[in-house]
Structure 1
Amino acid sequence: YLNILKNVTYFFAQNRATKLLLEKHGVDQVSISGDTRFDRVAAIAKNKKELPLVKKFKADKKIMVVGSCWSEDIEVLLPFINASDMKFIIAPHEIEGGTISKLEKECMRDTIRYSKLEESTGDEDVLLVDNIGLLSSLYAYGEYAYVGGAFGAGLHNILEAATYGVPIFFGNKNYKKFNEAIELINLGGAVAIGSYTELRDQFTIFMEDTALQIAGQVNMDYVKDNTGATDKIFEYCQKLIKS
């Protein structure tokens, strides 16, 4: 593979670490473009789907959107959900195999499936998303986000939540290979937690409106400040075509 890489005219690296890695292996025609994922999530937020039924479910309550959660995440979240007066939108990573039914049984608050939302009485506290493809738009309806995966194979995409300017929580086991997770923790926009009590205690920091707004703005600015990689790569390709 290294021989193939060395025959490529030019490379764009996501960040300084990947640039140094390429240079270590003798690939020296490299510049840092940034990460195109930032451009993608910024575009998603700009063109988000309007979901009137979700807006109606939200009403005047604050919401935590739980995205791509696994059973390990649910173990931590359930006591928090059951003790909270907030509303929740839960979008499991897997919707087959009885995942939704298990959540309905274990949740002590009134639940409704997204597929049944038109039949809502307006009294439900927890929306269980039993379809796919909506998560990136659902984050727009939350004041907080919890992103799953870090208690298992690896943290899912937190940029989809960050672009909407909400504080983010996730598990503390497997997130350190994701640069954005480290940086957002350091900036104060994200928190890694290991248990229900940690989630409960850390959440209280963001209950006050000023703290909530500051953390949200940090995350939104982080995405905004890192966009532009797609344009850099496209401009270079145009130069190649013209030369």
Structure 2
Amino acid sequence: MYNVIQWVFLAIFFPVLALMVLVKRKYRGRILFRLGFGIDHCARSLSTGTPVIWIHALSVGEVSSCQTLVKAIRNAYPRGTVILSTTTRSGEAYARNILAGSVDLFLPYPLDILWSVRRVVSRIRPDLFILVETDFWPNLLHELKIRGIPSILVNGRISADSFTRYKRFKWFFLPMFKAFKLITMQTENDCNNMIELGVDRHKVLKLGNLKFDAVMPGDLSGQIKDRSSFGIPDHKTVIVAGSTHAGEEEIILRVFRKLITEFPDLFLIIAPRNVERGKPVTLLARQEGFIASRRQEPMLAGGNLLVLDTLGELAGVYSFCDIAFVGGSLVQQGGHNPLEPAVFGKPVLFGPDMNDFLEIAQGLLNCAGALLTRDEAELFEVAHRLLKDKKMREEMGRHAAALVAEQRGVTARHVEMLQTIMGEADN
């Protein structure tokens, strides 16, 4: 039924898709590749090293989560072949930037059309497929299963909204979950939810959250930056609003306007989650009267605001900021990773919607490493309090960094589990 509906959909929308491919160059190569064209050339360029391990990460967030795992797999299998696929262009660009030395082949994730999936699987012939967190597709998982290729879900999480959706459409999701040889979840609650959905409890393990290891200082030491490299004077007090979404920048700019009247040496960095929004966010800031620069352009003299519209530099600005606000949380986007500033010992602020990072957010709140700001008024009040109290900022930062340090070892547990599965496959 799934494939029948899919073909009907394609028949209806094929003219639109074809026009997009012909008119817009940015879609041309990627869509054709996702259909399976071009995979032959890529497969021929691969080494013959075994095992062949295919890892899939949906976008930037999932790539960030699995980066230490990818590097650890490369270290565990130096003669093997590591393939990393992503669904989004930004995810692939970010992966190429941080994992070039650990991955043999970067691929756009194939569209879940049966012949595309079969073509890609036949050409790369993986010994193991690893899915990071989410992006479930029936045809691929079914094809891997019937070919006897083990697939594993790592760093799984189930938010309250997702759990409701999975239960409502259990007939669709449960067969996919059952196709995995093993599922590793972030928390005990995630495990219980997966088991309640009908997955065999012996297949479900709690191994912790890979995001903790992904932000270890040793991994990010090369990204620690000095504010002068961004054109920001040393005497400035820097607030970073990271991974922001539409609707949040307006709030942040209004709060910044109030704060800067009392703290004239304040400097704001806004890092939109989608870097392609850099230009409109900059225009918005300028319309509000700020001297705003874009990272991709020369810094404007006398500026007090920078829009970070580049990939791979958010950790760098978190490393030297004085206060960090994590976006996607004042609007209904589920929040983003609060560990990214926490690892650098920074006080963390976030809004009420941290559904995608509930355990981490609650852990930071419990250890006094973060503060919840429910709305614009609270964001102003909390930021104002922190700007007046340097000791409070430093204490919060120490608590945040300590929480991250306590959670080491998640990657090592995953690699041990993967080696066990690979050993079973060899026997």
Does TM-score exceed 0.5, indicating one fold? yes
1:205 Cα deviation (Å)?
3.6
Q: How many residue pairs align between the two structures? A: 239
Paired amino acid for 1:236: M
Residues 165, 49 of structure 1: alpha-carbon distance in 2 compared, 3 angstrom cutoff:
closer
| Cα distance in 1 between the residues matched to 2:183 and 2:272 | 37
| Cα distance in 1 between the residues matched to 2:175 and 2:304 | 57
Residue aligning to 2:294: 113
Residue aligning to 1:235: 416
1:241 Cα deviation (Å)?
3.9
Q: State whether structure 2 residue 339 is matched by structure 1 residue 159.
A: yes
Residue aligning to 1:91: 271
In structure 2, the residue corresponding to 1:157 is in which secondary structure? coil
Residues 8, 199 of structure 1: alpha-carbon distance in 2 compared, 3 angstrom cutoff:
closer
What is the 5 A alignment of 1:211-230?
211-230=392-411
Correspondence for 2:214 among 29, 33, 40? 40
Query: Do the aligned residues in 1 keep the contact of 2:242 with 2:272 (CA within 8 Å)?
Result: yes
| Cα distance in 2 between the residues matched to 1:75 and 1:99 | 9
Residue aligning to 1:28: 201
**TM-score w.r.t. structure 2 length?**
0.50
| Cα distance in 1 between the residues matched to 2:393 and 2:189 | 32
Correspondence for 1:168 among 320, 345, 348? 348
Segment drifting more, 177-186 vs 137-146? 177-186
| Cα distance in 1 between the residues matched to 2:179 and 2:254 | 55
C-alpha RMSD over aligned residues: 2.6
Correspondence for 2:390 among 206, 209, 230? 209
Larger helix fraction of residues: 2
Query: Could you report, residue by residue, the CA deviation over 1:141-190 in whole angstroms, capped at 9, with x for unpaired residues?
Result: 20111121121322122221221121122222x22442212222233222
Correspondence for 2:321 among 128, 132, 142? 142
Unaligned runs of 5+ residues in structure 2 are 1-172
| Cα distance in 2 between the residues matched to 1:75 and 1:205 | 21
Residues 67, 52 of structure 1: alpha-carbon distance in 2 compared, 3 angstrom cutoff:
closer
Unaligned runs of 5+ residues in structure 1 are none
Residues 153, 176 of structure 1: alpha-carbon distance in 2 compared, 3 angstrom cutoff:
closer
Residue aligning to 1:132: 311
| Cα distance in 1 between the residues matched to 2:227 and 2:357 | 33
Residues 131, 4 of structure 1: alpha-carbon distance in 2 compared, 3 angstrom cutoff:
closer
Residues 144, 78 of structure 1: alpha-carbon distance in 2 compared, 3 angstrom cutoff:
same
Query: Do the aligned residues in 2 keep the contact of 1:72 with 1:152 (CA within 8 Å)?
Result: no
| Cα distance in 2 between the residues matched to 1:130 and 1:20 | 39
In structure 1, the residue corresponding to 2:232 is in which secondary structure? helix
Higher RCO structure, 1 or 2 (CA under 8 Å, sep 6+) = 1
Residue aligning to 1:61: 236
Query: Could you report, residue by residue, the CA deviation over 1:83-138 in whole angstroms, capped at 9, with x for unpaired residues?
Result: 322111111234446232122221x3433222334x553x3221122333321222
Residue aligning to 1:76: 251
1:81 Cα deviation (Å)?
1.1
Query: Could you report, residue by residue, the CA deviation over 1:15-50 in whole angstroms, capped at 9, with x for unpaired residues?
Result: 111222233335222432111111112254333154
| Cα distance in 2 between the residues matched to 1:127 and 1:7 | 46
Query: Could you report, residue by residue, the CA deviation over 1:201-239 in whole angstroms, capped at 9, with x for unpaired residues?
Result: 122442312211111112112222223111011122223
| Cα distance in 1 between the residues matched to 2:282 and 2:230 | 21
Residues 124, 3 of structure 1: alpha-carbon distance in 2 compared, 3 angstrom cutoff:
closer
Query: Do the aligned residues in 2 keep the contact of 1:58 with 1:141 (CA within 8 Å)?
Result: no
Query: Do the aligned residues in 1 keep the contact of 2:369 with 2:397 (CA within 8 Å)?
Result: yes
Q: State whether structure 2 residue 371 is matched by structure 1 residue 196.
A: no
Residue aligning to 2:366: 186
| Cα distance in 1 between the residues matched to 2:291 and 2:175 | 59
| Cα distance in 2 between the residues matched to 1:189 and 1:52 | 23
| Cα distance in 2 between the residues matched to 1:64 and 1:54 | 16
| Cα distance in 2 between the residues matched to 1:220 and 1:73 | 26
1:59 Cα deviation (Å)?
1.3
Residues 52, 215 of structure 1: alpha-carbon distance in 2 compared, 3 angstrom cutoff:
closer
Residues 92, 7 of structure 1: alpha-carbon distance in 2 compared, 3 angstrom cutoff:
closer
